[in-house]
Amino acid sequence: MFFAVTIVLLVFVGLGLLGTLREVSILQGRVSALQNLLLRPPGPRFFDGMLPERAVATLRAAPLADNVRDFFVVFVRQACPGCANLLQAIKDAVAVNRLDSERFLCVVCGVPGGLDTRLRDSGFRVINDQPRALAEACQVKQTPTVLHLDSTLSVLDATVGDDIEWIYSRSEDPAIPAGDRVAS
């Protein structure tokens, strides 16, 4: 009798452990999915198409260069380490003629805190987006966010983060004639 009770208890403990392991596995999958969502949020709805009309109106009024086929809109904010890293990498690349500052429009989200002035002094075109109207229209959820647009304001690509290599790879796009690219 004692042996039968022990076996029944061991079966219940084993089933409990299997159930617990199953739940842990499910939770790990959910945590992984959430982590991916936070690190790589889904692209904007307007990807591979025109920006929303209120964003187009703001960008058409922006100080854009007339002689570029495509350009980057860089959404940044004060006190954002990733933004500081990306902006410094862009400035360094501009200094050695790897990138052209005319191909960048920096959108300072929230209170600029002097960031807008520093960017203008570095030769960048800047829009202050203190009410975050442009960022919201472009569905920017975190900074830095970079939109790669063509001259008609169609979205070619977008990314979140401070990856300068992503910008380099779009700057050297073979679809852009060599005369329109900045020499490496």
Sign of the torsion angle spanned by Cα atoms 44, 48, 53, 56: positive
Would you say 72 and 99 are in contact if contact means Cβ atoms under 8 Å apart? no
CATH fold for the domain made of 53-180: Glutaredoxin (3.40.30)
Look at residue 168 in the predicted model and tell me its pLDDT.
93
Look at residue 40 in the predicted model and tell me its pLDDT.
62
Look at residue 183 in the predicted model and tell me its pLDDT.
36
Q: Where are the domains of the chain?
A: 1-39, 53-180
Q: Mean pLDDT, consecutive 10-residue segments, the chain of 184 residues?
A: 80 80 77 67 62 83 76 92 93 92 90 87 89 88 90 86 91 50 37
Look at residue 107 in the predicted model and tell me its pLDDT.
93
Look at residue 181 in the predicted model and tell me its pLDDT.
39
Residue count of the chain: 184
DSSP-derived 3-state class of residue 124: coil
Q: How far apart are CA 164 and CA 167, in angstroms?
A: 5
